[in-house]
Amino acid sequence: MKLQNITISRLQKLLLNRKISPQEITQALLARIREKNSRVNAYLTVAEDEAPAQAGVADKRLGKGDGACPLTGIPLAIKDNICIKGVRMTCASKILEHYVPPYNATVIERLSDQGYVLLGKTNMDEFAMGSSTENSGFAPTRNPWDTRCVPGGSSGGSAAAVAAGMCAAALGSDTGGSIRQPAAFCGVVGLKPTYGLVSRYGLVAFASSLDQIGPITRDVRDAAILLSAIAGHDPRDSTSAPKQPPDYLSKLGQSINGLRLGLPKEYFAEGLDPEVAASLEAAREVFSRLGVQFQEVSLPHTDYSIAAYYLIAPAEASSNLARYDGVRYGHRTSKPKNLLQMYYDSREEGFGAEVKRRIMLGTYALSAGYYDAYYLKAQKVRTLIKRDFDLAFTEVDALLTPTAPSPAFRLGEKVTDPLQMYLSDIYTNSVNLAGLPAISVPCGFTANGLPVGLQLIGPAFGEDRLLTIAYAYERETDWHTRRPNL
């Protein structure tokens, strides 16, 4: 039995039937990390001490019989911008290289309540700013399917860890596609929840009106299990929706016959890789066999989403990252000449090139005389993008699109061309601007053996519908069962 490839749902049964212990699966995955992480660099911090201790606690809980939860004894990886008390959190930035949070994020509290096992903190683009995990302040993560390629970003470490069998599942964060795009590049499932469904308390802010925590898993059922554990209202997050999440597992397996899927014509235009387009066409045929009806729809303001996103997100980042000043916590330059020089040098030494680029862009967009011309106008475009989706969902139940315009690209291929890198998220960032849920599911491979993902977009708080549709597709294909040969 290859423990590194077992899903959460399968592990649950093995643990409850006492055919395997939390210690066994934890030690197997820690061994896998020790063996493979040097090739992939998915982890920044490995919980060598914490994981066995938590596994022992989970084992006692399972032994009681009535104290087990769906994630009791399940080893998970956590993106390194989510706070875990007493465990180093860097956001893949030199400015936070030695920071240890004094508190848990809400999602960590909820996982802890269920008795999960922490394997470690995963690599990412610095402060979640990037689409390839090449912007990590330490070293890039590599794609397990081809280590010459990127795993996507910014949650590239989480996606690579799942794909490489170095955890049962992982949490990532998604500001403009940072869960879905790496999930597509690594051949796993990635779900970006509706804004406000999952608490952001304890998530280090990049762009507060866009950020959302979500699961990265091997299959759709596991995504439903992990989402069920972390979703729900949190009074400590002022943007948390006061809604009771539905039972996401109860609708898996229902027929999707008669459902209407919209095909946004703007998402199937010039620039889409032919092999990605072919995989999407094959997926359409699968859905058609399941009784799904297709309808072309239009999202006319899609062309403005990249421009709007790269004004709003950097503007919010400029504000959020102002706290890293060398005074309260994080990196402080040594022997500054004066207070002002300490601010300058601490930020110059601590932040990487992409973070600096976005801070400067955001500061400019918010500056006197430019606020109305740039930031305010971008917010108005955001409203129009949201209206496009609202109108589309009066005609269809969900939207089917590519997750990314191409499969994973080579390391270094786009680092000198920021615009080309930003265009990697052209099919994902409008979802964040509208605050909607979306899921990426494996739907094929290129001739070179690189995974391709399809994206399903739903109306606000329509995660149960998306999971039902994705699960129906997944049961008809085997793309999600394939594993890279490391």
Which of 21, 136, 154, 406 is labelled catalytic? 154
Q: What residues have CB less than 8 Å from 171, skipping those under 6 apart?
A: 76, 77, 78, 79, 82, 107, 158, 213, 214, 215, 216, 226, 230
From the list 132, 178, 199, 305, the catalytic residue is 178
CA–CA gap between residue 246 and residue 236 (Å, rounded): 21
d(CA 400, CA 263): 6
CA distance 447 to 406: 13
Angle between helices 50-64 and 22-40 (to 10 degrees): 150
| Known active-site residue 251 | no
Residue at 308: amino acid letter: A
Q: What distances in angstroms separate CA 100 from CA 34, 45, 84, 88, 103, one per listed residue?
A: 23, 12, 8, 4, 9
318 tagged catalytic: no
What's the CA gap between 217 and 189, in Å, rounded?
5
In order of 62, 106, 115, 116, the CA distances from 229 in angstroms are 18, 11, 11, 10
Looking at this protein, which amino acid is placed at residue 346? S
Q: 330 in helix, strand or coil?
A: coil
Q: What is the Cα–Cα distance from 179 to 213, expressed in whole angstroms?
A: 9
Q: Is 362 exposed, middle or buried (0-12, 13-18, 19+ CB in 10 A)?
A: buried
- Which residues have C-beta within 8 Å of that of residue 333, sequence separation ≥ 6? 326, 341, 342, 345, 346, 348, 349
C-alpha–C-alpha distance, residues 38 and 322, integer Å: 34
The number of beta carbons lying within 10 Å of the beta carbon of residue 268 is 17
Residue in 36, 79, 121, 192 annotated catalytic = 79
Handedness of CA 208, 81, 212, 192 (dihedral sign): positive
What is d(CA 152, CA 125) in angstroms, rounded to the nearest whole number? 9
Q: Is residue 66 classed exposed, middle or buried when 0-12, 13-18 and 19+ CB atoms within 10 A define those classes?
A: exposed
Spatial separation of the C-alpha atoms in residues 151 and 196, rounded to whole Å: 27
Distances (CA, A) of 40 to 24, 31, 183, 445: 23, 14, 15, 20
Q: Is 424 known to be catalytic?
A: no
Given its phi and psi angles, is residue 240 left (phi above 0), alpha (psi -120 to 50 degrees) or beta? Answer: beta
Which residues are identified as catalytic?
79, 154, 178
